[in-house]
Structure 1
Amino acid sequence: MNFSKSLSPIKIGAVELKNRYIVPAMGSHLGEPDGQVSQRTIDYYVARAKGGYGLIVTEFTCVDPVGMALPGQLGIWDDSFIEGHKRLTQEVHKNGGVIFSQLHHAGRLSYSMVTGTQPVAPSSIASPVNKEIPRELSTEEVYQLIEKYVNAAVRAKEAGYDGVELHGAHQYMIAQFMSPYSNKRLDEFGGHFHNRMRFPTEIVKGIKEKCGKDFPVSVRISAEESEHDSWGVRQARKAAKMLEEAGADVISVSIGGAYGTTYKTLAPQALPPGFNASNSAFIKEVLNIPVIITGRIVDPYVAEDIISSGSADLVSLGRPSLADPEFPNKVKENRIDEIIPCVACLQRCSEAGGRDEWDTGVSCTYNPFTGKEGIMKFNPPEVKKKIAIIGAGPAGLETAWVAAKRGHSVTVFDKANVPGGQIALGARPPYKQELLKAVQTYMRLGKKYGVTYNFGVEANLETVKDFDEVVLATGGEPICPPFDGIEEAGAVQAIDVLAGKVVPGDRVIIIGGGQVGAETGEMLANQNRRVTIVEMKDAIAEEEHQDVRFLLIERLKKYGVNMLTKTKVKALSKDSVVVEREGAEERLSGFDTIVLAVGVKSYNPLEEIMKEAGKKTHVIGDANKPGDITDAIYAGAKLGLSI
């Protein structure tokens, strides 16, 4: 396919971009605790400049300490921040990048525990997120806040930014003024639509006056914000037109708010790629300036279609830019199958804790180098070795291509006939199919760097006798709990159901409502089976990201899946399960199949054998300690760099 539209240049105001791929504002959380730009911040953005993105927009940068959303958020509210931002812009420019600073104030979405003071807002209406009652800004304070945005833009220009973006989406301060849901004012900043738009349009006019007409201003807005709000795409279209008339050079169309519709802002796999494009097309109809679109644009084919169809002029590759900072270069060089994919899992890019002292700030499950660009480097080894990796699951595949890229000779063995391990099975339920992209990419990268793959081979000591070091990435095996009657019941493992080794009956009970149990339940319900899920904990699939989980639970309800939480299994029989609920025993009966999904334990039969034979051996992933896929891939990357 020809990607000529995506790779073509375009102007935003007086600034020309080399292509239509945008790194939108996303919190990197890599700055210093006091909000200053850190070296890790610079490394992160420079990697994306090198990767060929047409425009980079920094994470939200606060114009007033009262408006901070998070501790350590980047600041630009006084001149002390200019020097750090200047270092950032200089490095981005050296590497061929164009960079805007996104100006932000959280308004009622700030927290007093972060700022040390009561949040401020257009009106004293609590946010459903933090539930704090904000203090309503006086009319004079509103004008002062407009000046704070304008002065922040002046600092951004002095620091070398090529333009600025106003964060008017996701129910932050500018959006709070625009929305009738959060703006109940009776002065010139409230009531009528044109009054509610006065706050953002005055900011745009002020920036143009002080920074010059050739200094571009982008405004990010949401096409939809909240299920509880009257703000929708038609209001967004009117707002975009008024912002253009005020002097805005580009409109960036996002979607979702800070509540109710966050699953659209951080869209999981359940939302189709490019789902927001119809909104951007509707808004673009009335504009003469370019439009940027956001909304799960995860591969170059969707991006090209959106631009070619006229739905938008530029595409935001948010999480895809986390997954692969080289996305544009790989498209340009026709290396599509080498793009590390964003599979919209939300497991590490959003609200996920790090795994060690290196792994802080933003990162990606499938590309753990993100956020650690200056720390995790592909340095050649002192001695090139022959490395045997046993297991072609996520940990083994990651270790293989990373070690091979550094210069080692790597061979992978797996007793299965296909790669992927748990990823391959995890892709079986609905809305999980994109996980397979990661397997294919790791295989492609491995082959590029010379990895040899041997499938259908159950490796042993003899198999690896000629290798210098051995990596055991043999994964885990499902736990079989010691329930009374488990043999009589003929219980089967969820992993065998997912693999198609077991065909369940029409009435199925799943013991264990974690991620595996819940997703197996959805797959079976999707096949018109009647499903009951039993879980000891308070919630089903509680380890999932909240937005992934929200949509999963909604689908399970739609299918009529019976979800029993706070329910402990006591015993099994051929067609029934005895459980304890609210202190009383109860028999659940009438089931054709009982499925177990109670977790995994390490499967590692070779470690002692290898060590007794004197082989230098590394054990990673579930073979070392059961964890999630993020743990496995990160461990593989670290081992691949250090071996």
Structure 2
Amino acid sequence: MFKKEMFENMFKPGKIGNLEIKNRLVVPPMLSEYADEEGNLTERYIRYYEEKAKGGFGLIIAEDNAVEPRGAGFTKLPGLWHDSQIEKHKEFTSRIQAYGTKIFVQIYHAGREASESIIGMQPVAPSPVHDPAIFEIPHELTLEEVIELEDKFVASIVRAQKAGYDGIELHGAHGYLINQFVSPFSNKRTDIYGGNLMNRLRFPLNIIKKAYEKVGNDFVITYRISADEFVEGGLTIEDSKIIAPILEDAGIKAIHVSGAVYKTGYLPSAPYQAPTALFSDLAKEIKSVVTIPVIAVNKINTPFVAESILKQGKSDFVAIGRASIADPEFPNKVMEGRLEDIIPCIACDQGCQGYIGVQKPVSCLVNPRTGREGEYNLEKVANPKKVMVIGGGLAGMQAGVVAAIKGHQVEIFEKSDRLGGQWLLAAIPPGKEVFNSFVVYLKGQLDKHNVKVHLNTEVTEEVINTFNPDHIILSAGANPITIPFKGIETNKNVVQANEVLSGKVMPGRNVAIIGGGLVGMETAEHLAVHSSSVTVIEMKETHLEEMAGIPKAFMMKSLEHNKVAIRLGTKLEEIRENSIVFSKNGVSEELFIDQIILAIGSRPNIALEEIIKGKYSYTKAGDITGVADGIISVKEGYEAALNI
């Protein structure tokens, strides 16, 4: 349907310095937590990047490599602070370059965005001003210590050259140490490293000058910039349009245009609620003032978006970040015209930024193989089996696809009239329409691998016995819970959240939602956007506990904007005909509403397990296991199929 000629700009060779890059597709530096705790590269780390090189990316910029242990803002961050680390980096670069892909490494120091809990000591910074997201006063670097850190950056760059990297990227963005020197938001010094723009730029300019003296002017040094920090008193795009030509004059070979700092850290990995390619206009502004190549980044998650940015001349290269985590074969699939086979990034941020935020290794909701490339064997089995998948939600669909790829004969049985299960409802709230792209992808893969699907089919013992499977994957989902409150049995205004989201029940004008979990809050946002007045009642003192931090930040802004009232630590006492009674700290209150929506969780549908137990080989996956979490459900479906 789509020809590769539609994406001609993406596949034109490009140059950075004297390096020729085979296409315009870049993997930007993204933390993986795949290094070991001593900062050494591991086989898991190398294989993860190697998949992207196999997948056809022209340039990979490996994630933040710290210049010293106290510069590591995460527990398993790779480093280039010691010569003993070089050998493993040599193996890494040679394995990436074997596929015709150029490999850079990002050189970084977290500065005040490190934490004593991680590095075991007080973090350092240009000034003793705490980061709003860390809340620890850093040690103010002395003049001698600043010069020492410049030399540590240079030493790491020299090691990178010795390790065979084609170039390096200085991390001057996102509020890390270089950015801390450059920005008036964090730099309050009055010596030669502060007080005016050129003094604030002295730290990175000295690093660049000293580095070129060691590695030669032909070695590629690029710079990542937060072109707008989006904070009070921070750098703006107009500041960065002054800075960029200065960096070019210093010898920087390309500028990688990002934005934000930790305080505004929900922006650099923009979730589903945010606009597409929201930093591309920043890239365009920087490109207007320099002659060196510019790289655009952030939520460039489809080939159409990438091609559009290049075609408009906003940038010279496009960074495909989370979409490369979702599908490392993104370039090859575009080149071969297999767009329907691209695993779509839905910008959920669950397995990538969500996991990184709690110091866990990166995973991916739509691609459980991410980071497990050496563990998940997709080769065909020697003895195919007849596999029955009960339930066509995400877990069942993913299981069906993987089992079919493995060579099994697979059929899916779904009691409703469509595939997707609860995930279809998850795609209803504002901004989450993109979630449907994963269902569409899985449906296409089921067709491609000849998986027969039975819709409108209630599975009974007779149906199972007639099919007579060798193995069953039980992914029958879960059913909403109803609470035994006074007045609930006779009140016609009490409905379930899934009934409202699915369009089976017309929402009220004034509604109370019982439950402040993900379903309740997303239902609240959806109804408020569509002109209902919404109050959420939650017994706990917290809400949205299961939601990743970045999408949560966007949702909270939306809930506030749409005037959703959230009552935490509040107990529902009684449901009346046109009101509810609730209490907090022993004080009761009545709220007049025209609809009560229950969103208090689900109970696994285990009835079929009692039928098949002891009679058939089976595996459970998805909400039936009680997880009610998309990333775990998909992983369970994937692994259930692998283990047949």
Please, what TM-score do these two structures have when normalized by structure 2?
Answer: 0.96
Partner of 2:327: 324
Q: 1:31 aligns with which of 35, 51, 57?
A: 35
- Secondary structure, aligned partner of 1:487: coil
Structure 2 residue 540 is the aligned partner of structure 1 residue 537: yes
Structure 2 residue 536 is the aligned partner of structure 1 residue 526: no
**Deviation of 1:360 (Å):** 5.7
Partner of 1:486: 488
Structure 2 residue 513 is the aligned partner of structure 1 residue 510: yes
- Contact 1:472–1:604 (8 Å) recurs in 2: no
Label 1:76 to 1:353 Cα distance change in 2 as closer, same or farther (>3 A): closer
The 2-side partners of 1:430 and 1:175 are apart by 34
- Secondary structure, aligned partner of 1:444: helix
Partner of 2:417: 417
Q: Which moved more, 1:293-302 or 1:181-190?
A: 181-190
Deviations 1:318-377 (A, max 9, x none): 11111111111111111111111111111111242899xxx9611111111101111122
- Secondary structure, aligned partner of 1:225: coil
Structure 2 residue 555 is the aligned partner of structure 1 residue 552: yes
Q: 1:582 aligns with which of 558, 582, 585?
A: 585
Q: 1:199 aligns with which of 196, 200, 203?
A: 203
Quick one: which amino acid aligns to residue 263 of structure 1?
Y
- Contact 1:488–1:573 (8 Å) recurs in 2: no
- Secondary structure, aligned partner of 2:262: coil
Please, what TM-score do these two structures have when normalized by structure 1?
Answer: 0.96
Partner of 1:82: 86
The 2-side partners of 1:471 and 1:63 are apart by 48
The 2-side partners of 1:4 and 1:468 are apart by 48
Structure 2 residue 616 is the aligned partner of structure 1 residue 595: no
The 1-side partners of 2:259 and 2:409 are apart by 47
Label 1:5 to 1:130 Cα distance change in 2 as closer, same or farther (>3 A): same
Structure 2 residue 216 is the aligned partner of structure 1 residue 212: yes
| 1:41-56 equivalences in 2 (<5 Å) | 41-56=45-60
**Deviation of 1:229 (Å):** 2.8
| 1:333-344 equivalences in 2 (<5 Å) | 333-344=336-347
- Contact 1:21–1:53 (8 Å) recurs in 2: yes
Partner of 1:221: 225
Partner of 1:617: 618
- Secondary structure, aligned partner of 1:416: coil
**Deviation of 1:511 (Å):** 0.6
Label 1:353 to 1:290 Cα distance change in 2 as closer, same or farther (>3 A): closer
Structure 2 residue 73 is the aligned partner of structure 1 residue 69: yes
Partner of 2:640: 639
| 1:108-123 equivalences in 2 (<5 Å) | 108-123=112-127
Sequence identity (%):
41
The 1-side partners of 2:559 and 2:123 are apart by 38
Query: Which stretches in structure 1 are left out of the alignment for 5+ residues?
Result: none
Label 1:557 to 1:351 Cα distance change in 2 as closer, same or farther (>3 A): closer
Partner of 2:62: 58
The ranges of structure 1 where at least 4 consecutive aligned residues each deviate by more than 4 angstroms after the TM superposition are none
Partner of 2:153: 149
| 1:95-134 equivalences in 2 (<5 Å) | 95-134=99-138
- Contact 2:386–2:408 (8 Å) recurs in 1: yes
Q: Which moved more, 1:520-529 or 1:459-468?
A: 459-468
Partner of 1:405: 405
Partner of 2:456: 456
- Contact 2:620–2:640 (8 Å) recurs in 1: no
The 2-side partners of 1:122 and 1:163 are apart by 27
**Deviation of 1:68 (Å):** 1.6
Partner of 2:266: 263
Deviations 1:363-403 (A, max 9, x none): 11111110111112213223101111111101001101111
Q: 1:281 aligns with which of 280, 284, 301?
A: 284
- Contact 1:504–1:592 (8 Å) recurs in 2: no
Partner of 1:249: 253
Label 1:354 to 1:460 Cα distance change in 2 as closer, same or farther (>3 A): farther
The 1-side partners of 2:120 and 2:475 are apart by 48
Q: Which moved more, 1:309-318 or 1:576-585?
A: 576-585
The 1-side partners of 2:373 and 2:245 are apart by 40
**Deviation of 1:43 (Å):** 0.8
Quick one: which amino acid aligns to residue 429 of structure 1?
P
- Contact 2:354–2:550 (8 Å) recurs in 1: no
- Secondary structure, aligned partner of 2:298: coil
The 2-side partners of 1:600 and 1:26 are apart by 35
Query: Which stretches in structure 2 are left out of the alignment for 5+ residues?
Result: none
Label 1:112 to 1:619 Cα distance change in 2 as closer, same or farther (>3 A): closer
**Deviation of 1:446 (Å):** 2.0
The 1-side partners of 2:611 and 2:71 are apart by 59
- Contact 1:163–1:217 (8 Å) recurs in 2: yes
The 2-side partners of 1:570 and 1:122 are apart by 55
Deviations 1:202-243 (A, max 9, x none): 212222221122211110011221422331111122111111
- Contact 2:354–2:549 (8 Å) recurs in 1: no
| 1:235-246 equivalences in 2 (<5 Å) | 235-246=239-250
The 1-side partners of 2:380 and 2:360 are apart by 25
The 1-side partners of 2:58 and 2:277 are apart by 19
Deviations 1:87-122 (A, max 9, x none): 111111223321111000011112223223222211
Quick one: which amino acid aligns to residue 534 of structure 1?
I
**Deviation of 1:432 (Å):** 0.7
- Contact 1:476–1:626 (8 Å) recurs in 2: no
- Contact 1:223–1:236 (8 Å) recurs in 2: yes
- Secondary structure, aligned partner of 2:131: coil
- Contact 1:30–1:360 (8 Å) recurs in 2: no
The 1-side partners of 2:298 and 2:552 are apart by 19
Structure 2 residue 137 is the aligned partner of structure 1 residue 136: no
Structure 2 residue 384 is the aligned partner of structure 1 residue 384: yes
The 2-side partners of 1:454 and 1:207 are apart by 64
- Contact 2:31–2:63 (8 Å) recurs in 1: yes
- Contact 1:600–1:626 (8 Å) recurs in 2: no
Q: Which moved more, 1:506-515 or 1:115-124?
A: 115-124
**Deviation of 1:140 (Å):** 2.5
- Contact 1:489–1:594 (8 Å) recurs in 2: no
The 2-side partners of 1:443 and 1:209 are apart by 56
- Secondary structure, aligned partner of 2:367: coil
**Deviation of 1:501 (Å):** 0.5
Partner of 2:361: 361
Partner of 1:468: 470
The 1-side partners of 2:137 and 2:623 are apart by 46
- Secondary structure, aligned partner of 1:264: coil
